[in-house]
């Protein structure tokens, strides 16, 4: 496969790096500076502050670790709740202390629910810490739930049936989990799609030739026509033709322009967020950027190290979400169980995840005959520990890849069996994600009936695996999984070439 890079991508990146390096360049020291050295007391103060900061961090880490070890069993086994007065919960003023400062508010009387008077001192302390954290998080502006760490999903407003159980409404509670096959287009949107299609052909003269080599799922001899990354216009007489399929690259361009909020001026948009969020870029840059990524990164590759990473079933695509009323195309389901593995090499960890998402899009495109290629993700927090948490650098690189190159491909993310620590980390991490992605994250409640209703709605009754209490007895086998016809094998060297050829994602 030809690996091409265009001048537009390299120039943008080089210009950004050179400008940032110039801003960081330290000014040359003047002669007067050498004549007046810094006082010794000032140097001592700096060293003291540095040592004090390090000691504070170490002591805080030790305290958190000790508290977690002491309270782990108590928090998971005890159902007693130490409730704070209602009037304090309802008091909201601009001057109200938020976040960590809320721990230092004036003392208040606490209410203990009946049946909790039997708590031992250690249990009482653990419960107090737990509910103090819940209240602290509920006071933060980005937490949606009114009662802190509740068992309700993050963005679900379920109805209640005659038995008192919450019943989700698919089109209202999970609007992004189901995608209509025929999306309506306004004249303005049609015009923008046609204009962007013409501009990208001008920017990349060999566009038509190169896009045929990067279909969803990778280039193979038996690749279905429906998996084309850039699909040519279909004749209006076809049974599968929709308004988008009557335009060259209609489905692909619709996704990018929707994320760009249908800009009036295609010469200055702020997507991709990392590359263009400050000064803006011409709209064709985003498409050219993804073209280079798919040629260089080759997200469909399977390597020996990737098989080792996924030996226990860390991530795999299996099954499709149900269709609504026969009008919605199925989303591929990606199952992610990070608790099964310890922290691994961040490059191959990310590649393993990306490959399954790529495969899910390709299979969804086949199911919908090229009209919709999306995926829903189920994440299990069972057995998750800090040792299984990937590095922050790896997470940022993975998120950048998804935002830049899998535009509008995510349906919904279901987070289930999240421990208390995972929930806290999640609600601290949510502000770092764009609102577009944040609105697609659902924290599945612990109530058995409610979670079962959500699983059946989003995943489908027949797709719920036995390890979730369902009847799908599929068991992941790494050799069988990668022996499928759509597997494209490569070497570990090929999988890491992008680090030097496309440092933007390294």
Say which residue, 432 or 474, is predicted with more confidence.
474
CA 501, distance to chain mean position in Å, is 25
Is the model's pLDDT at 429 over the cut of 60? yes
- The class of domain 299-500 in CATH terms is alpha beta
- For residue 30, pLDDT over 70 is answered with no
Length of the chain: 506
> What is the average pLDDT score of the chain?
77
Least confident of 59-73, 298-312, 355-369, 453-467: 59-73
Residue 235, C-beta contacts closer than 8 angstroms, at least 6 positions apart: 241
Contacts 24+ apart (CB under 8 A), 74-77: 74/122, 74/123, 74/126, 74/127, 75/126, 75/127, 75/130, 75/420, 76/419, 76/420
Q: Select from 305, 338, 258 the least CA-distant residue to 482.
A: 305
Q: Which of 23-32, 143-152, 282-291, 465-474 has the lowest mean pLDDT?
A: 143-152
Lowest mean pLDDT among 369-378, 431-440, 493-502: 431-440
Which candidate, 348, 338, 428, places its Cα nearest to that of 384? Answer: 338
Average pLDDT value for residue range 422-427: 68
Residue 473 confidence (pLDDT): 95
Ranges for all domains in the chain classified under CATH 3.40.525.10: 299-500
Return the pLDDT at 457.
92
State residue 150's pLDDT score.
Answer: 38
Checking if the pLDDT of 18 tops 70, the result is no
Q: What is the pLDDT of residue 10?
A: 46
437 or 351, greater pLDDT: 351
pLDDT score at 148: 36
The residue-averaged pLDDT of 391-397 equals 81
**Rounded percentage of the chain residues whose pLDDT exceeds 90:** 44
Task: Read off the pLDDT of residues 443-499 as tens digits, 9 standing for 90 and up.
Answer: 898 889 999 999 999 999 999 999 999 999 999 999 999 998 789 999 999 999 999
Selected residue with higher pLDDT from 151 and 429: 429
Per-residue confidence (pLDDT) for residue 505, from 0 to 100:
92
User: In the prediction, which pLDDT does 55 show?
Assistant: 79
pLDDT confidence of residue 88? 39
Does pLDDT of 112 surpass 80?
A: no
In sequence order, the β-bridge partners of residue 375 are: 332, 410
């Amino acid at each position: 496969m030809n690996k091409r890079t265009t001048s537009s991508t390299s120039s943008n990146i080089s210009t950004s790096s050179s400008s940032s390096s110039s801003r960081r360049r330290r000014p040359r020291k003047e002669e007067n500076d050498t004549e007046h050295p810094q006082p010794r007391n000032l140097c001592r103060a700096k060293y003291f502050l540095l040592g004090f900061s390090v000691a504070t961090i170490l002591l805080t880490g030790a305290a958190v670790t000790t508290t977690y070890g002491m309270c782990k069993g108590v928090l998971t086994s005890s159902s007693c709740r130490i409730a704070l007065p209602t009037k304090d919960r309802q008091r909201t003023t601009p001057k109200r202390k938020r976040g960590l400062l809320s721990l230092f508010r004036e003392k208040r009387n606490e209410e203990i629910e009946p049946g909790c008077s039997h708590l031992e001192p250690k249990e009482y302390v653990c419960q107090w810490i737990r509910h103090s954290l819940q209240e602290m998080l509920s006071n933060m502006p980005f937490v949606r739930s009114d009662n802190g760490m509740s068992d309700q999903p993050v963005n679900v407003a379920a109805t209640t049936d005659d038995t008192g159980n919450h019943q989700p409404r698919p089109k209202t509670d999970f609007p992004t989990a189901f995608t209509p096959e025929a999306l309506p287009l306004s004249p303005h949107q049609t015009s923008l799609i046609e204009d962007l299609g013409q501009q990208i052909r001008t920017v990349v003269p060999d566009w038509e030739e190169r896009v045929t080599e990067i279909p969803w799922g990778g280039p193979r001899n038996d690749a279905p026509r429906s998996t084309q990354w850039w699909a040519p216009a279909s004749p209006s007489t076809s049974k599968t033709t929709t308004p988008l399929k009557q335009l060259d690259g209609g489905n692909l361009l619709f996704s990018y322009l929707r994320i760009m909020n249908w800009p009036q001026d295609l010469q200055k948009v702020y997507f991709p967020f990392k590359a263009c969020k400050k000064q803006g870029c011409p709209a064709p840059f985003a498409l050219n950027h993804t073209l280079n990524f798919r040629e260089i990164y080759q997200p469909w590759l399977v390597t020996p190290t990737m098989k080792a990473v996924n030996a226990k079933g860390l991530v795999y695509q299996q099954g499709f979400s149900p269709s609504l009323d026969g009008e919605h195309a199925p989303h591929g389901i990606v199952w992610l169980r990070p608790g099964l593995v310890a922290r691994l090499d961040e490059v191959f960890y990310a590649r393993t995840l990306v490959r399954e998402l790529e495969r899910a899009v390709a299979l969804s495109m086949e199911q919908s005959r090229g009209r919709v290629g999306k995926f829903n993700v189920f994440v299990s927090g069972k057995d998750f520990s800090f040792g299984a948490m990937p590095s922050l650098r790896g997470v940022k690189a993975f998120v950048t890849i998804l935002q830049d190159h899998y535009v509008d491909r995510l349906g919904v993310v279901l987070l289930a069996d999240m421990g208390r620590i995972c929930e806290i980390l999640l609600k601290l991490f949510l502000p770092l994600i764009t609102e577009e992605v944040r609105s697609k994250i659902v924290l599945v409640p612990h109530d058995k009936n409610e979670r079962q209703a959500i699983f059946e709605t989003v995943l489908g009754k027949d797709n719920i695996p036995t390890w979730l209490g369902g009847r799908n007895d599929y068991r992941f086998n790494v050799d069988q999984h990668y022996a499928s016809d759509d597997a494209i094998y490569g070497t570990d060297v090929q999988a890491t070439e992008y680090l030097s050829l496309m440092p933007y994602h390294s």
